């Protein structure tokens, strides 16, 4: 699924556009007990309730693809996955009207969803008449497919904060009554996935509010899918590998690695598909960034082990905060250096060991050899073109 696919669905989640046929839910307490189950015809709800429930479903489809939104595939040739897929298909096709299947889903979530506290499981069902579009993205009055799907949202339920409020019956300011309030969803899923404007029953879109804690056990045991790392997890793991081998003080080299990955992505402006950060790509980046021949193979080996299940996309492991932080530090140092030094030289790491000091005609000189295809810039002016 793409951002465009998600936006097309999300545009429907307004009171005037939505066509949800049914909504069901289950309130679970801290002891993993079902306190309440309910089933509603969605459009029979009052306006305030409709808007609140739509706010929740919007959030389950909002976020960064690959981080807050992961497209998960069902495991092949595994009994648990086949059972989960068939079960979700059956629940979806029932239009959330089969109470036994709803109870089974609630039990499944309660068993596999690791959460301390009360929470609400919400389910929405919809059938979207997907209209054909012309090449200029205009809809034509012809149906392409009836996309039958359901959305699940898992929301924490917490006590409101204590405080003072106006007590109308007593006409005074006093202690406000604390209520159990439904919060924004922390996890959820859309099934089947809406891929290229069409239903894909072999995958689902999984929502995670906190990309650092994706609840991978729920992906596997609850949904029967292959687990995936979020881009946040991949970024943290990649930086951890670099720091373990290069040391926390190697700020400049780590910055260079992230900058070179960024340069690799931007080299081909016409490219639309993401670039896999495979072994060859990593090797080239480490070489360009000046990582020693001794350390580079160790980093590559650890990287392959860490990401053995799935190699990350290059854009997922770039840490732009690191680039910005080092650039700010360099800017501050450059200002101080300009006050202290007459000449300041910046060179690529591979050129540093070629720079030498020589005395020419009795004067101290800095000599930087340039190959035929190399060039240089001094004070913004390009030389040796």
Rounded CA Rg of the chain: 28
CA distance 328 to 108: 49
Segment 328-356 mean pLDDT: 77
* The two three-digit tokens of residue 197, written as one number: 């404007």
pLDDT score for 273: 79
> pLDDT-based confidence at 165, cuts 50/70/90?
confident
Q: Using the predicted structure, report yes or no on whether residue 34 has a pLDDT greater than 90.
A: yes
Total domains in the chain come to 3
> pLDDT-based confidence at 269, cuts 50/70/90?
low
pTM of the model: 0.78
Q: Which residue is associated with the tokens 């360009």? A: 288
If one compares 218 and 370, the residue with the highest pLDDT of the two is: 218
> pLDDT-based confidence at 383, cuts 50/70/90?
confident
Query: Residues 62, 126: one domain?
Result: yes
Segment 74-87 mean pLDDT: 78
Give domain status of residue 71, yes or no: yes
Query: Residues 103, 215: one domain?
Result: yes
> pLDDT-based confidence at 149, cuts 50/70/90?
very high
CA distance 36 to 339: 71
Query: Residues 293, 194: one domain?
Result: no
Q: Which residue is associated with the tokens 């021949």? A: 293
Q: Is 182 helix (H, G, I), strand (E, B) or coil?
A: strand
CA distance 204 to 187: 13
User: What is the percentage of the chain residues whose pLDDT exceeds 70?
Assistant: 93
Query: Residues 319, 364: one domain?
Result: no
Q: Is 236 helix (H, G, I), strand (E, B) or coil?
A: helix
pLDDT score for 249: 61
Give domain status of residue 328, yes or no: no
pLDDT score for 75: 78
Query: Residues 14, 161: one domain?
Result: yes
CA distance 245 to 278: 19
Query: Residues 248, 306: one domain?
Result: yes
Give domain status of residue 337, yes or no: no
Give domain status of residue 329, yes or no: no
Phi, psi of 124 (to 5 degrees): -125, 140
User: Facing residues of 128 across strands?
Assistant: 147
pLDDT score for 139: 57
Q: Using the predicted structure, report yes or no on whether residue 324 has a pLDDT greater than 90.
A: no
- Burial of 221 (C-beta count, 10 Å sphere; 0-12/13-18/19+): middle
Q: Which residue is associated with the tokens 């839910």? A: 25
User: What is the percentage of the chain residues whose pLDDT exceeds 90?
Assistant: 56
pLDDT score for 338: 72
| Range with the largest mean pLDDT of 36-40, 326-330, 355-359 | 36-40
* The two three-digit tokens of residue 353, written as one number: 């060991």
Query: Residues 295, 383: one domain?
Result: no
Query: Residues 219, 238: one domain?
Result: no
Query: Residues 116, 216: one domain?
Result: yes
Q: CB atoms < 10 A from the CB of 238, how many?
A: 24
Domain assignment of residue 52, given as a range: 3-228
Q: Using the predicted structure, report yes or no on whether residue 290 has a pLDDT greater than 80.
A: yes
Query: Residues 251, 383: one domain?
Result: no
- Report pLDDT digits (tens) over 113-136: 999 999 999 999 999 999 887 655
- Report pLDDT digits (tens) over 177-210: 888 999 999 999 999 999 988 999 999 999 999 9
Query: Residues 57, 163: one domain?
Result: yes
* Averaged pLDDT score across all residues of the chain: 88
Q: Is 114 helix (H, G, I), strand (E, B) or coil?
A: coil
pLDDT score for 248: 65
Q: Using the predicted structure, report yes or no on whether residue 336 has a pLDDT greater than 60.
A: yes
Query: Residues 156, 302: one domain?
Result: no
* The two three-digit tokens of residue 269, written as one number: 């402006």
The set of residues, in sequence order, having a beta carbon less than 8 Å from that of 329 and lying 6+ positions away, is 251
Q: Is 256 helix (H, G, I), strand (E, B) or coil?
A: helix
Give domain status of residue 332, yes or no: no
Phi, psi of 163 (to 5 degrees): 180, -175
CA distance 94 to 17: 23
Q: Using the predicted structure, report yes or no on whether residue 341 has a pLDDT greater than 90.
A: no
Which of 228, 247, 264 is a domain's end point?
A: 228
Give domain status of residue 339, yes or no: no
The set of residues, in sequence order, having a beta carbon less than 8 Å from that of 355 and lying 6+ positions away, is 345, 347, 366, 367, 368
- Report pLDDT digits (tens) over 298-309: 999 999 999 988
Which of 228, 253, 279 is a domain's end point?
A: 228
Query: Which of 112-116, 150-154, 304-308, 321-325 comes out lowest in average pLDDT?
Result: 321-325
Query: Which of 119-123, 163-167, 209-213 comes out lowest in average pLDDT?
Result: 163-167
Q: Is 184 helix (H, G, I), strand (E, B) or coil?
A: coil
User: Facing residues of 206 across strands?
Assistant: 70, 189
């Amino acid at each position: 699924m793409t951002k465009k696919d998600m936006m097309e669905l999300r545009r429907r989640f307004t009171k005037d556009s939505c066509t949800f046929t049914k909504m069901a839910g289950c309130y679970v307490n801290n002891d993993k007990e079902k306190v309440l189950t309910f089933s509603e015809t969605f459009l029979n709800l009052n306006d305030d309730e409709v808007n609140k429930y739509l706010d929740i479903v919007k959030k389950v489809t909002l976020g960064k693809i690959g981080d807050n939104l992961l497209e998960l595939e069902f495991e092949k040739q595994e009994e648990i996955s086949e059972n989960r897929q068939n079960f979700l298909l059956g629940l979806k096709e029932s239009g959330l009207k089969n109470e036994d299947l709803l109870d089974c889903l609630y039990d499944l979530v309660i068993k596999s969803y690791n959460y301390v506290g009360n929470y609400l499981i919400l389910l929405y069902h919809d059938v979207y008449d997907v209209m054909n579009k012309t090449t200029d993205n205009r809809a034509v009055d012809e149906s392409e497919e009836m996309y039958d799907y359901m959305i699940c949202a898992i929301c924490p339920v917490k006590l409101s904060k204590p405080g003072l409020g106006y007590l109308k019956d007593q006409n005074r300011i006093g202690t406000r009554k604390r209520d159990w309030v439904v919060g924004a969803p922390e996890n959820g899923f859309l099934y089947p996935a809406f891929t290229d404007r069409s239903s894909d029953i072999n995958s689902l879109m999984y929502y995670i509010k906190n990309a650092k804690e994706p609840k991978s056990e729920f992906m596997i045991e609850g949904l029967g899918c292959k687990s995936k790392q979020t881009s946040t997890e991949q970024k943290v793991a990649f930086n951890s590998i670099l720091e373990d081998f290069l040391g926390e003080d190697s700020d400049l080299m780590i910055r260079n690695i992230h900058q070179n990955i960024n340069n690799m992505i931007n080299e081909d402006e016409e490219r639309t598909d993401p670039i896999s950060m495979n072994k060859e790509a990593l090797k080239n980046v480490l070489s360009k960034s000046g990582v020693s021949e001794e350390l580079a193979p160790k980093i590559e080996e650890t990287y392959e082990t860490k990401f053995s299940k799935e190699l990350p996309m290059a854009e997922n492991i770039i840490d732009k905060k690191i680039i910005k932080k080092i650039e700010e530090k360099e800017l501050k140092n450059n200002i101080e250096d300009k006050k202290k030094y007459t000449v300041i030289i910046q060179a690529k790491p591979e050129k540093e060991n070629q720079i030498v000091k020589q005395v020419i005609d009795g004067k101290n000189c800095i000599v930087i050899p340039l190959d035929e295809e190399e060039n240089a810039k001094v004070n913004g002016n390009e030389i040796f073109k």
